[in-house]
Amino acid sequence: MSLAGMKCLVTGAGGFLGQRIVCQLLEEEDGPAEVRALDKAISSEAVRNFQKVKTKSVLTIMQGDIRDAASVRMAVQGVSLVIHAACIIDILGLVDKQTLWDVNVQGTQLMLEICLCNDVQYFIYTSSLEVTGPNNRRDPIHNGDEDTVYESTNSLPYAKTKKEAEKSVLEMDGRPLKDGGTFVTCALRSMYIYGEGSHFLQRHVESAIGNNRVFFRMSVKEALVNPAYVGNVAWAHIQAAKAMTDPEKVKRIRGQFYYISDDTPHVSYSDLNYELAKELGFSVEPKLAMPLTVLYWYALLLEIISVLLQPFVRYVPSVSRQLLTLTNTPFTFSYRKAQRDFGYKPRYKWEEARKHTCQWIATLIPQGENSLKCKAT
């Protein structure tokens, strides 16, 4: 299995995950003939990271919006594989609902339609665990899989858009192409992604630095989740893409969704932050600032205030009931199906992922304030 000779397009290529997918495609020994990196804006740092990779593939950086048909048509021209990682991630309600829908749903549907018209054969969609849940009752899942039955009641607009977009992607599988072939699609539902460059992790670290290197606790210790390292989530996309070119494996993959995790220890979100930064002198609050039930009432009060202020000013609470549910529900999933169907195996072990992330966290600490170093694996 290889991607040799193919032209591949990665959307959201300037993002946290998209950058890693582009780099791993370029690193492939029998890699694509061309890798196209599409985003509304790609930072100069991202471009430098791409250019550092020794590759035989041609790298084409393209600026464009997935909501713009002309940009999408130009990007997919002659392409065999699309890895669609572009989306707006919003768990706090910072983005208005219409913009979320336009980008995450309509942008994905436009990509699919133009891919069909241009005989793009393979389409991999970067989905999210929030398509599944957790639900408002905080029903837990321990080591679940794709057959686990779960009643999802997630009311966050972000979760709804990812669920609708994933549905569109999987329903398109098997559609006939003009050249006589058939469209092949799948979706990868990743766990919470951590690693160097994570904006979410950076915010937590910067907040902890302002709190004498103590992470604020937003999740109880018992709320075990299984986050995944960004390098492993990117690697799952590469492995799925390779398997799509295999006549036998593609039969199992097409039209399917997969949970993507790795061997990161099962911990709460707050304790993950501590595990990644503890060698740099960070600690984490031992317990929540107040009982979880009280926090829910506090979040409800803030949401009511937000609604009352809506006619006058846009106020987005820093905590919501949905966020508390997300961070305080045990929710872990196995990657066995991905391993069975397309040979996914984490590329980076936990200690390696932890070390890389820890070294990046060290760069966020103001100069002169850190004498500790991350241990080698």
> Which residues form the catalytic set?
158
* Number of Cβ atoms within 10 Å of the Cβ of 308: 10
Residue ranges in 118-215 assigned as alpha helix (H): 157-171, 199-209
DSSP 8-state secondary structure symbol assigned to residue 176: B
Asked whether the beta carbons of 162 and 131 are under 8 A apart, the reply is: yes
Q: How far apart are CA 22 and CA 198, in angstroms?
A: 16
Tell me the three state secondary structure of residue 172: coil
Residue ranges in the chain assigned as alpha helix (H): 16-27, 44-52, 69-76, 97-100, 107-117, 157-171, 199-209, 230-244, 249-253, 269-277, 292-309, 321-327, 336-342, 350-364
Q: How far apart are CA 62 and CA 77, in angstroms?
A: 12
Q: How far apart are CA 324 and CA 291, in angstroms?
A: 12
HSE (CB half, 13 Å, CA atoms) of 90?
A: 20
Q: How far apart are CA 64 and CA 261, in angstroms?
A: 30
Residue length of the chain:
377
Q: Which residues, at least 6 apart from 98, have a Cβ–Cβ distance to it below 8 Å?
A: none
| Dihedral over alpha carbons 44, 49, 54, 58 (to 10 degrees) | -50
What the block records as the tokens of 174 is 């098997």
